[in-house]
Amino acid sequence: MVIRDKIAADTCDVYFVDENKVGAVQKLLESIVVFSELAELFKVLGDPTRIKIIYILSVEELCVCDIAGVLGLSVSAVSHQLRTLRNLKLVKFRREGKMAYYSLDDAHISQLFNQGLEHIKE
């Protein structure tokens, strides 16, 4: 279907829908149910405090008190943010006696953070 109409400078000069491409991509969209989880991930990463925690933990494994000290926040506030990050499997903790040390859950988190940072700095 082709309609000749110039809508804006940043769009096509003609309206044409490639039914084959659209159909193929729609099938992929319908088969992937993780988009809401991915949106939740990006929503959680949209908070500057949580991004700072991710950065801090990409540098060093720390306990809640240390993270609070670095950020100048209360232990309670940091614990709340860590719980949110832990629920999405962005951070994990390990116990050593009475201490709980936090780190990034896996290398993907560090890569995601670093790629986002590179993109912003370009």
The pTM is what?
Answer: 0.78
Mean pLDDT throughout 109-116?
92
Which residues lie closer than 8 Å to 14 by C-beta, 6 or more apart?
Answer: 2, 3, 4, 5
Instruction: Give 45's pLDDT tier (boundaries 50, 70, 90).
Output: very high
Domain ranges of the chain: 47-121
CATH number for the region 47-121 comes to 1.10.10.10
Which residues lie closer than 8 Å to 81 by C-beta, 6 or more apart?
Answer: 47, 49, 50, 53
Q: What is the DSSP string of 1-24?
A: -EEE----TTS-SEEE--HHHHHH
Token digits of residue 117: 């940072």
Residue with tokens 């279907």: 1
pLDDT at 6 over 70: no
pLDDT at 16 over 70: yes
pLDDT at 7 over 60: no
Mean pLDDT throughout 30-47?
86
